[in-house]
């Protein structure tokens, strides 16, 4: 059996386990069961299409059609975007310019999501009278300034066409659309919870896949390049922490261990906020343990520092901050020397 089919089977099994576990906690307060089921089924359909299409453009068109026919039933477009964001890696390819220009733009899965999910949401929101017009808020101005800065920096280092493509078009699809939809579409607490829980569920799937990759020393999404574009996997994506340590740095569908770690950090912060939205304490603890596994799997120290800082902020802003800090300090005094004395601690420190 080809490696990509074996990888697909493992991904489907692991994701099925996570979705089965996550449905009840996610739908307790934050998410409607019908929304969860529709997004889950779409996640499976997109994953199957990516691994079985055997052609990049067939995959792109098929996923676009799936998103188009599902979008009309989705009330919270941002939650849908978050739920599907990490379904498959953002493998890029260029759309030809038909001999007029070199190419129009580069398309990948995340940009496809932005164009098929966030762009319709943007067009709908900007015509609603109760939506704050863009440009009145300070963050609006900062976003515009950032996009302009990218364009000017690209203009210095590249041609006008490439600068326009990267600074203007990519700035619009990759930066402006997520910001605008996130800042304008979440009009109530229920919608906010729904979006955050969707991100957490997506990160839980990443966490279990990352933990599997770390344990089995097998990057599950590495064969997808060959399945879609015929590019053989030359093990170039395999990264280890420390020479000869055998500690594979998991990547899941993110394709980068550091980025995977930061995604899990963000999801962990969201999950702390959603604690009261999950009435079952055991389910919340299990979900948090899975996120911690996902945070460990990339073996990336930057995300660990970010997670520690976030946890400290959580303690400071929570009840009984002094007592919590004391317990945390005592725990660190006991655990840190033991960890540093082990081979794993020595490997991680290098």
How does pLDDT run across 88-137, given as a tens digit for each residue? 999 888 887 666 667 788 899 999 999 999 999 999 998 888 888 888 88
Of 73-87, 173-187, 310-324, give the lowest mean pLDDT range.
310-324
In a domain, 132, yes or no: no
| pLDDT value for 323 | 60
Report pLDDT for 229: 76
Has residue 156 been placed in a domain? no
The answer as to whether 233 is a domain residue is yes
Is residue 165 one of the residues assigned to a domain?
A: no
Asked if residue 158 belongs to a domain, the reply is no
DSSP 87-129: SS----EEEE-TTTSSEEEEE-HHHHHIIIIIHHHHHHHTT-T
- Euclidean distance between CA atoms 216 and 220, whole angstroms: 10
Residue 85 domain flag: yes
Query: Residue 48: which domain range?
Result: 1-94+105-125+188-302
Token pair of 76, please?
């919270």
Tokens standing for residue 228: 């879609």
| 77: in domain | yes
- Residue 337 confidence (pLDDT): 53
Q: How many domains are contained in the chain?
A: 1
Tokens of 42: 């779409």
Q: In this structure, what token pair is assigned to residue 298? A: 């990339």
Give the burial string for 158-173 (b: 16+ CB within 10 Å, else e): eeeeebbbbbbebbeb
In whole angstroms, give the CA distance from residue 104 to residue 101.
7
What is the reported pTM? 0.89
Rounded distance between C-alpha atoms, residue 177 and residue 171, angstroms:
9
Quick one: average pLDDT of 258-283?
Answer: 92
Spatial CA neighbour of 151 closest among 142, 162, 141: 162
Instruction: Work out whether the CA dihedral 161, 167, 170, 173 comes out positive or negative.
Output: negative
Q: Which residues pair with 38 in a beta bridge?
A: none
Task: Assess contact for 84 and 46: CB atoms under 8 A.
Answer: yes
CB count in 10 Å sphere of residue 260? 29
| pLDDT bucket at 317, cuts 50 / 70 / 90 | confident
Rounded Cα distance between 34 and 287, Å, is 21
Q: Has residue 308 been placed in a domain?
A: no
Q: Maximum distance among all alpha carbons in the chain? A: 68
3-state secondary structure of 248: strand
- Which residue did the predictor score with more confidence, 309 or 206? 206
* pLDDT at position 133: 87
> Range with the lowest mean pLDDT among 138-142, 217-221, 308-312?
308-312
CA 2 – CA 51 distance, rounded (Å): 11
Helix (H, G, I), strand (E, B) or coil at 240: strand
- Percent pLDDT > 70 in the chain is 86
């Amino acid at each position: 059996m080809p490696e990509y089919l074996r990888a697909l089977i493992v991904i489907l099994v692991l994701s099925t386990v996570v979705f089965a576990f996550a449905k009840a906690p996610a739908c307790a307060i934050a998410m409607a069961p019908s929304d969860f089921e529709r997004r889950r089924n779409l996640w499976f359909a997109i994953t199957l299409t990516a691994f079985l299409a055997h052609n990049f453009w067939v995959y792109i068109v098929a996923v676009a059609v799936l998103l188009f026919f599902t979008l009309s039933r989705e009330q919270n477009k941002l939650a849908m975007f978050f739920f599907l964001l990490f379904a498959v890696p953002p493998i890029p390819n260029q759309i030809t310019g038909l001999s007029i220009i070199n190419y129009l733009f580069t398309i990948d899965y995340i940009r496809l999501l932005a164009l098929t999910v966030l762009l319709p949401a943007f067009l709908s929101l900007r015509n609603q009278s109760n939506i704050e017009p863009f440009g009145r808020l300070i963050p609006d101005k900062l976003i515009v300034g950032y996009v302009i800065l990218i364009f000017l920096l690209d203009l210095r280092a590249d041609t006008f066409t490439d600068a326009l493509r990267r600074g203007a078009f990519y700035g619009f699809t990759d930066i402006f659309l997520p910001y605008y939809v996130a800042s304008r579409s979440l009009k109530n607490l229920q919608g906010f919870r729904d979006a955050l829980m969707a991100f957490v569920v997506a990160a839980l799937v990443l966490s279990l896949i990352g933990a599997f990759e770390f344990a089995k020393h097998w990057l599950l999404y590495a064969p997808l390049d060959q399945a879609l574009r015929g590019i053989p996997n030359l093990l170039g994506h395999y990264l280890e922490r420390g020479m000869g340590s055998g500690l594979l740095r998991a990547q899941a569908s993110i394709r980068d261990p550091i980025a995977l770690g930061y995604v899990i950090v963000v999801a962990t912060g969201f999950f702390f906020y959603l604690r009261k939205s999950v009435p079952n304490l055991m389910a919340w603890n299990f979900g948090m343990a899975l996120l911690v596994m996902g945070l460990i799997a990339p073996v990336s120290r930057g995300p660990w520092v970010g997670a520690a800082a976030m946890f400290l902020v959580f303690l400071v802003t929570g009840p009984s901050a002094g007592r919590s800090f004391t317990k945390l300090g005592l725990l660190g005094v006991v655990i840190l020397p033991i960890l540093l004395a082990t081979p794993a601690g020595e490997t991680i420190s290098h």
